Structure 1
Amino acid sequence: MNFEMASERLLFTKLDASDWELFRSIYTNPALLQHIQAPRSEEEIRNQFEKELTPWSPASSHWLTWTIREQASHQHVGVMGICSRDGEQPTAEVGFILLDTSAGKGYATEGLKQVIKFATDTFGFEKFTALCSEEHTASRNVLEKAGMTLDEILPENSEINGQLINDCFYSMMVGEK
């Protein structure tokens, strides 16, 4: 199956072996990960990368990850993905990490809307969920601009670098955008 797609300004390509340096640079960057997870070893990052390279279907337990580039310059923007989740309706969790150089350009919102449309049209997902830390206001704004609604804030639900953080759970039913 062809997982490539495009939005107005962005190109999306399924993660492949040539994307290792981009993937490694994102998952070893403390600034990009400060609200997401503690840094991991290169071996752990490599294992995650290899898992995400394997074939994907809605029955998969791993993420379908796209690399994102600007259409005009072909410069990397970041990564975005979906992961199937159990639920009453076909459900996918969405996630994204954009490079610092791509912040503030509306790419995350544009990309998230495109991924949701693709996942709905291609795989029939009816519900989308997302999780982010309460302090990560930029990600929260993206989720809301893309049409997601804050469902719940769980205090001290996760730990990043020894600190307990509040988690925000977002969702969206297709058609409620």
Structure 2
Amino acid sequence: MNNQILSARLTLTKVALPDWDLIRSIYSNPTLMEHIGATMSDEDIRRNFEKELAPWSLESNHWLTWIIRETDSGSDVGLISICTRNRETLTAEVGFIILEGFKGKGYATEAIRRVFDFAVDTFGFKKFTAVCSEEHAASRRVLEKAGMKLDKIVPESTEIAGKMVNDCFYSLEK
């Protein structure tokens, strides 16, 4: 599998050992995790990070994660991941986190579209899903710009920071 995916402005590189500090900074940042869940301990982050370093296939239960970087500057923009959700229907879930200084530039939409194309071409995925909290308007806009459709809103589905939030379930068939 190719460890790098290129788009017009971005280079997506499969997560690797040197990315530890970035991954740790993302999952321990309360602002970045505000709409995702609780910040994680170093131990939990390390456990997930080590899973994501492992080889990935359709049968894997862990996320396939890429670091998103600006091609021109090499600056870290965030991360994007996919995980197989249904092997029979070739369905993958996508998730992403964009660092504060890079939001609003269309990077998340560009990365998602490119990952969808890569996942279809490389693994044969036919459907993609995503979940985000109803109040996270920016993520909802990104998913919709990437071509995903809102399937349903489930009230009080997930607890984030001690509060139950409504989850929006999106999908896209390729």
Query: TM-score, normalising length from structure 2?
Result: 0.98
Gaps of 5+ in 2: none
2:86 is aligned to 86
C-alpha distance after superposition, 1:3-57 (max 9, x if no partner): 3110000001000000000000000110010000111211001101011101100
The 1-side partners of 2:96 and 2:109 are apart by 10
* 2:101 matched residue in structure 1: 101
The residue number in structure 2 matching 1:27 is 27
Report if aligned partners of 2:59, 2:87 keep a CA contact under 8 Å in 1: no
CA RMSD of aligned residues (A): 0.8
Runs of 4+ in 1 over 2 A off after TM superposition: none
Provide the secondary structure at the position in 2 that maps to 1:121.
helix
In 1, Cα distance between the equivalents of 2:13 and 2:146? 21
Report the alpha carbon displacement of residue 140 of structure 1 after superposing the two structures with TM: 0.3
The one-letter amino acid paired with 1:140 is R
- What is the deviation of 1:161? 1.2
1:135 corresponds in structure 2 to 135
1:1-177 superposed matches below 5 A:
1-86=1-86, 89-174=89-174
Q: Structure 1 regions of 5+ residues with no counterpart? A: none
Query: Percent of aligned pairs with the same residue?
Result: 60
How many residues align? The count is: 174
Structure 1 length normalisation: TM-score?
A: 0.96
Aligned residue identity for 1:72: D
